[in-house]
């Protein structure tokens, strides 16, 4: 699904109307569960958006980090919470799309246990090395891998970054060894310290490192070059037309949450993300946004499932069993 760069600033009339139906909600503080450590892109955007939604909702929103295990712990915590709109789950393609294909057994079913509230953004992914790396481009990186496979870091096992690189390996014939970390910032620090050779990083965490020259981006996995890093080629340009992947983020709640509450949360989330404080930062970091309704976000997830779950099975990647 291709995203337009044009952002619609007006809230959908249906969301404005249905938001009025959730009066009286919320009557106590809310929590936003994030399955990744503090400091990464998921945590940062949850805190930014929550900080703007809280005053509009009239209650505090507490961001609760529960990292580990492909965000399965966070997902289970949210799924087992009351469907009253007071517990939100920060979701991404790993949580909603990949995990059912990666795990033989999951304590929850993301297809039936959650429903979407809204979309946060689509995040281009970069393959980066240190500025002093001998690999000047992806061709050199790939050629070196024929003799000795480099290692690559990602924010977590089963993260979008990890699955994207495994897809790249299959599509390009590359050999590389995965080294998971506890979040993107940790992976980048280990790269700069010389403890790892390369990292797959999303634009929110990686672009500042690319912009100031601390790392060299060998390629971006999006369909077209990013306006924020126009010198970085896509793998599609380099002859690998099918090597396209993004990270993306959104918010979901337990599936039985009343529609009036979901629509209220959706309206407030869209307003927060379209505020100058957040929209300006997202634009600076090259994040692509659309103000999707809950139904549109759910349709996007279903389309992602149709593409990635068969691909993961084709790749033969499993986390357990």
pLDDT, averaged per 10 consecutive residues of the chain (321 residues), comes to 44 43 82 91 94 97 90 95 98 94 92 98 97 97 96 90 94 95 93 98 95 97 95 97 95 98 98 96 94 98 95 85 51
CB 256 within 8 A of CB 83: yes
Residues 44-89: tens digit of each pLDDT = 999 999 999 999 999 999 999 998 777 899 999 999 999 999 999 9
In whole angstroms, give the CA distance from residue 116 to residue 8.
19
Whether residue 230 lies inside any domain: the answer is no
Residues 132-168: tens digit of each pLDDT = 999 999 999 999 999 999 999 998 887 889 999 999 9
In whole angstroms, give the CA distance from residue 6 to residue 289.
8
* 22 and 64 assigned to the same domain: yes
In this structure, what token pair is assigned to residue 202? 């999303």
> What is the CA 31 to chain-centroid distance, rounded?
19
* 56 and 198 assigned to the same domain: no
Domain encompassing residue 170: 123-220
In this structure, what token pair is assigned to residue 100? 């059912």
Query: What pLDDT shows up at residue 5?
Result: 41
Query: What pLDDT shows up at residue 68?
Result: 78
* 91 and 128 assigned to the same domain: no
Distances (CA, A) of 6 to 20, 33, 131: 28, 30, 34
Neighbours of 230 (CB within 10 A): 8
In this structure, what token pair is assigned to residue 45? 């955007």
In this structure, what token pair is assigned to residue 179? 């080294």
Query: What pLDDT shows up at residue 98?
Result: 93
* 58 and 205 assigned to the same domain: no
In whole angstroms, give the CA distance from residue 178 to residue 142.
15
Query: What pLDDT shows up at residue 23?
Result: 64
* 111 and 135 assigned to the same domain: no
CATH number, residue 277: 3.40.190.150
* 39 and 86 assigned to the same domain: yes
In whole angstroms, give the CA distance from residue 132 to residue 217.
12
In this structure, what token pair is assigned to residue 138? 């992806």
* 173 and 74 assigned to the same domain: no
Residue 98 buriedness (CB in 10 A; 0-12 / 13-18 / 19+) = buried
Whether residue 44 lies inside any domain: the answer is yes
* 106 and 144 assigned to the same domain: no
Query: What pLDDT shows up at residue 195?
Result: 97
Which residue carries 């599509």 as its tokens? 171
Planar angle of CA 168, 174, 304, nearest 5 degrees: 10
In this structure, what token pair is assigned to residue 256? 């039985």
Whether residue 6 lies inside any domain: the answer is no
In whole angstroms, give the CA distance from residue 8 to residue 190.
39
* 237 DSSP assignment: T
């Amino acid at each position: 699904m291709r995203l337009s760069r044009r952002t619609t600033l007006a809230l959908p009339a249906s969301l404005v109307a249905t938001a009025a139906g959730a009066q009286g909600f919320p009557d106590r503080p809310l929590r936003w569960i994030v399955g990744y450590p503090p400091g990464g892109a998921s945590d940062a955007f949850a805190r930014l958006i929550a900080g703007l939604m809280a005053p509009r909702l009239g209650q505090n929103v507490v961001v609760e980090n529960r990292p580990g295990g492909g965000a399965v712990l966070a997902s289970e915590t949210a799924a087992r919470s009351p469907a009253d709109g007071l517990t939100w789950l920060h979701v991404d393609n790993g949580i909603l799309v990949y995990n059912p294909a990666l795990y033989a057994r999951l304590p929850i079913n993301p297809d039936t246990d959650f429903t979407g509230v809204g979309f946060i953004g689509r995040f281009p992914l970069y393959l980066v090395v240190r500025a002093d790396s001998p690999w000047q481009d992806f061709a050199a990186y790939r050629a070196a891998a024929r003799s000795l496979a480099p290692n690559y870091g990602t924010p977590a096992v089963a993260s979008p970054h990890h699955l994207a690189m495994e897809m790249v390996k299959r599509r390009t014939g590359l050999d590389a060894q995965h080294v998971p970390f506890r979040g993107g910032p940790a992976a980048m620090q280990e790269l700069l310290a010389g403890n790892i050779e390369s990292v797959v990083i999303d634009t929110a965490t990686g672009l500042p490192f690319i912009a100031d020259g601390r790392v060299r981006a060998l390629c971006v996995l999006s369909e077209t070059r990013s306006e924020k890093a126009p010198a970085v080629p896509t793998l599609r340009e380099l002859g690998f037309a099918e090597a396209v992947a993004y990270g993306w983020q959104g918010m979901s709640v337990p599936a039985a949450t009343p529609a009036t509450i979901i629509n209220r949360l959706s309206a407030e989330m869209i307003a927060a993300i379209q505020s100058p404080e957040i929209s300006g930062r997202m634009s600076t970091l090259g994040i692509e946004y659309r103000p999707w309704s809950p139904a549109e976000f759910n349709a996007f997830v279903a389309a992602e499932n149709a593409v990635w779950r068969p691909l993961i099975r084709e790749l033969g990647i499993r986390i357990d069993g």
